Amino acid sequence: MSSFIALMRQDVVMAWRENSAGLSISFFMIAVALIPFGLGPDLKLLRDIAPGLVWVALLLAVLLSLESIFQADLEDGSFDQYLLSDCPLEILLLAKGVAHWLGIVLPLVLTAPLAGLLLNIDTPSLIPVCLILFAGSPAMSFLGMMGSALASGVSRSGLLAALVVMPLYVPVLIFGSSALSQILNGADTDEWLNAVLLLLSIGGAALFFGPLVAAAALRAFLK
């Protein structure tokens, strides 16, 4: 447990020290801020397409950070120490996935209210919007971790990881956008709760399988 917490804390600190989190947040906010300029003064249109735009901008911002999950550890030989550690590699990778979520994805979700205001989302809807993004956020980290591990050791691994992960993000994008659309259209809680439960289910599956797939990919690469 001490190894788990120490690695998680180290990666969260590194995400901010190396500015990976700041870069992702800046990209997210700039992307959202530029969209109204492209659409013109039609605020109704902006609000109608806001659910999809928020999710797409968020997923693209997360993609920017995927290369950083394993890159430093591969370059400095830390993974050799992980393999020799008493703690299973899968548990250590779980710590790295949680750290990515805490250090990068969660701060992105917390900036969503400001992004929502830029997209003409009503103030009372901002809290439910954040809750839906929060429900889908674990899947972004752990699906991304799988793609990053599969692309490890390849030149331009960030681009390859993005290509691997984007199809996996499609269900998150579909259910997340559906839930946001229902909220903005005034639907009852029961109507969008099913989409939230599906997002949580995807996140749970990614939380379980992500470290297993990543560990297998990294062991194959390091042999």
Extents of the domains making up the chain: 2-222
pLDDT score recorded for residue 203: 93
Rounded Cα distance, 154 and 151, in Å: 6
* Residue showing tokens 């001490």: 2
Buried b (16+ CB within 10 A) or exposed e, 93-128: bbbbbbbbbbbbbbbbbebbbebbebbbbeeebbeb
pLDDT score recorded for residue 156: 64
Averaged in consecutive runs of 10 residues, what is the pLDDT profile of the chain (223 residues)?
A: 83 83 89 81 77 89 86 77 83 92 92 85 84 92 89 70 87 89 78 86 94 89 75
pLDDT score recorded for residue 115: 86
Contact 7, 92 (CB under 8 A): yes
Torsion of Cα atoms, 113 then 191 then 203 then 148, to 10°: -60
Token representation of residue 65? 């950070």
H or E segment to which residue 208 belongs: helix 189-222
pLDDT score recorded for residue 76: 76
DSSP-assigned states of every residue in 90-115: HHHHHHHHHHHIIIIIHHHHHTHHHH
Q: How far is CA 36 from CA 29, 33, 41, 192, 213, in A?
A: 12, 7, 8, 26, 40
pLDDT score recorded for residue 106: 93
**Beta-carbon contacts of residue 29 (< 8 Å; ≥ 6 apart):** 111, 114, 115
Q: Which pTM value belongs to this model?
A: 0.89
pLDDT score recorded for residue 154: 65
pLDDT score recorded for residue 157: 63
pLDDT score recorded for residue 1: 65
SS3 63: helix
